[in-house]
Amino acid sequence: MTADERHRERMQRKKALVDRKIARATIERGVLVVNTGNGKGKSSSGFGMLARSLGHGFHCGVVQFIKGSFSTGEEAFFRRFPDELDYHVMGEGYTWETQDKARDIRTAEAAWDVAAAMLSDARYDFVLLDELNIALVKGYLDVAKVCQVLAARPPQQHVVVTGRGAPDALVEIADTVTEMRVVKHAFQAGIKAQKGIEL
């Protein structure tokens, strides 16, 4: 048997295996995705799925829980879709910048009110809750209450939650969880945040 024939045989076996897995996946419903970890790419992945959802003609919502004290490229871009997307920047900056826990809690609660309204509204096909995990891990919002609302959302609604430190209760109810891991980061070498990469 030649190398090409062996390769083709392996790929045929792999295709049969993948086809069987696809055939078994018959459930069609909205999924809860959690992007967490210390590595870069949690929000970027969420915004990528937002772009994909808009491409499919979905009605979408975004609530940003921490970011808000500076403008970002994603906000500038996605604001171009006012009919398909409700975009709410509710944060007042990173907690080490605000240095006011009571204010941070009030801000998180206001953002959660907007998010909870989206999560109870079947008109939203896709909802991105950017940096919600930070508000949860800091104790600004009640994890059990948040999980209860996420679990009770409309059946076809997709939700992506981002941020470091996803609590165990959220991981437990999620359908897909990805943990980003730092291998290298430009900031560690003294390179400041760059437009198009971090901003």
Is the pLDDT assigned to residue 125 strictly greater than 80? yes
- Per-residue pLDDT at 95: 61
Question: With bands split at pLDDT 50, 70 and 90, how would you rate the model's confidence at 96?
Answer: low
**What's the burial of 199, exposed, middle or buried (CB within 10 Å: 0-12/13-18/19+)?**
middle
Is the pLDDT assigned to residue 188 strictly greater than 70? yes
Q: Terminus-to-terminus CA distance in the chain, angstroms? A: 53
- Per-residue pLDDT at 70: 65
Q: pTM for the full model?
A: 0.90
Name the least confident of 97-106, 127-136, 142-151: 97-106
Q: What is the pLDDT of residues 77-92, one digit of tens each?
A: 999 999 999 999 987 6
Q: CA 63, CA 183: separation in Å to the nearest integer?
A: 29
* Average pLDDT across the chain, whole number: 92
Question: With bands split at pLDDT 50, 70 and 90, how would you rate the model's confidence at 1?
Answer: confident
Residue 43 exposure: Cα atoms within 13 Å on the Cβ side: 22
- Angle, vertex CA 84, rays to CA 170 and CA 110, nearest 5: 45
Over residues 104-124, the mean pLDDT reads 96
Q: CA 5, CA 10: separation in Å to the nearest integer?
A: 9
CATH 3.40.50.300 fits 28-189, yes or no: yes
Residue 37 CB neighbour total at 10 angstroms = 19
Q: CA 194, CA 178: separation in Å to the nearest integer?
A: 24
- Per-residue pLDDT at 13: 94
- Per-residue pLDDT at 25: 87
Is the pLDDT assigned to residue 93 strictly greater than 70? no
Q: What percent of the chain stands above pLDDT 90?
A: 78
Q: What DSSP character marks residue 198?
A: T
Question: With bands split at pLDDT 50, 70 and 90, how would you rate the model's confidence at 69?
Answer: low
Q: What is the pLDDT of residues 140-167, one digit of tens each?
A: 999 999 999 999 999 999 999 999 999 9
